[in-house]
């Protein structure tokens, strides 16, 4: 349903958000206009500022409005360990969930030969420059547990080997509190292949 006018346009534009269809967009638009005009104004201003000012961190390629992101600028963090992730969202998730106190490197994607996405698209020459400085002592490969994520991890581990930096892959298998009965067979077979000594 396409309504004309500003309201229709607002509803349509809200649909660009993930998980928001026409119905939700309609609710959002009416709520903002009827109940929370102040909030809407703030949202619009922040959104505009973020779009204009946010760029990528010079060092780790995550999203930031500064030259260096908070994590890279934080002196208390360990410079010698780098965690490789696929997206800026992963940086947040890993940082909240783990005790990891090193730095990150964001690929903004994964190697995907069938889509023609290679090392150049992932900024890996930048990572290689960092590896070449000799400052890095360990790489943690936290790419997704998909075939493409696996291929990416393998490639980066080869790069690291070239520069004599040890690299490790995050473990995958049975989730915490998971019962074997309800674990899917793919995960379970992976868990068996990657079992650890006790």
Partner 1 sequence: MTETVVYLQPAFILQQRKYRETSLIIDALTRDFGRISLLAKGVRKTKSKTAGMLQPFIPLTISYFGKAELKTLTDVEMIQPFSQIKGLALYCGFYINELVACFLHKYDPHPEVFGHYRECLSGLADGAGMEAALRLFELNLIECSGYGLQLEYDDKQHPIASAKKYDFNVGLGPVEAGRGQFSGRTFQALSTRELIDPQVLSEAKLLMRTVIDVYLQGRQLKSRAVINNIMKHTGGERGLQTYRQSQHISNGVGGVITPSNMKNE
Instruction: Name the nearest CA neighbour of 163 among 192, 119, 125.
Output: 125
Report CA 191 to chain centroid distance, whole Å: 24
- Name which of 56 and 190 has its Cβ closer to partner 1: 190
Task: Please say which residue, 104 or 155, places its beta carbon nearer to partner 1.
Answer: 155
Minimum separation from the CB atom of position 44 to partner 1 (A) = 25
Question: Which residues does residue 168 pair with via DSSP β-bridges, in sequence order?
Answer: 140
Query: CA-CA distance, 155 to 189, in Å (whole number)?
Result: 23
Q: Which is nearer to partner 1, 5 or 116 (CB)?
A: 116
Q: How far is the CB of 48 from partner 1 (least distance, A)?
A: 26
Q: Min. distance of Cβ 112 from partner 1 in angstroms?
A: 8
CA distance 198 to 189: 19
What sign has the CA pseudo-torsion 179, 185, 190, 194? positive
Q: Which is nearer to partner 1, 99 or 180 (CB)?
A: 180
Binding residues vs partner 1 (CB under 8 A): 18-19, 111-120, 124-125, 128, 145-147, 150-151, 154-155, 158-159, 161-162, 184-187, 189-190, 193
Compute the least distance from the CB of residue 11 to partner 1, in Å.
Answer: 19
Cβ nearer to partner 1, comparing 125 with 179 = 125
Q: How far is CA 16 from CA 2, 10, 25, in A?
A: 15, 11, 9
* Pairing of β 55-56 and β 63-64: antiparallel
Q: How far is the CB of 111 from partner 1 (least distance, A)?
A: 7
Please give the Cα distance from 71 to 96 (Å, whole number): 12
């Amino acid at each position: 349903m396409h309504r004309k006018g500003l309201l229709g346009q607002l509803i349509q534009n809200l649909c660009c958000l993930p998980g928001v269809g026409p119905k939700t967009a309609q609710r959002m638009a009416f709520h903002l206009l009827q109940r929370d005009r102040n909030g809407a104004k703030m949202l619009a201003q922040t959104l505009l500022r973020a779009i204009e000012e946010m760029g990528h961190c010079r060092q780790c390629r995550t999203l930031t409005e500064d030259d260096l992101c908070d994590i890279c600028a934080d002196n208390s963090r360990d410079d010698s360990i780098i965690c490789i992730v696929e997206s800026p969202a992963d940086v947040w998730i890993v940082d909240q969930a783990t005790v990891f106190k090193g730095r990150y490197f964001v690929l903004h994607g994964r190697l995907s030969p069938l889509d023609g996405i290679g090392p150049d698209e992932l900024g890996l020459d930048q990572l290689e420059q960092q590896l070449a400085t000799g400052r890095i002592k360990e790489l943690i490969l936290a790419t997704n547990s998909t075939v493409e994520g696996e291929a990416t991890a393998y490639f980066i581990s080869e790069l690291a080997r070239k520069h004599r930096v040890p690299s490790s892959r995050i473990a995958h298998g049975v989730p915490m509190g998971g019962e074997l009965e309800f674990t899917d067979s793919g995960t379970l077979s992976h868990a068996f292949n990657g079992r650890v000594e006790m």
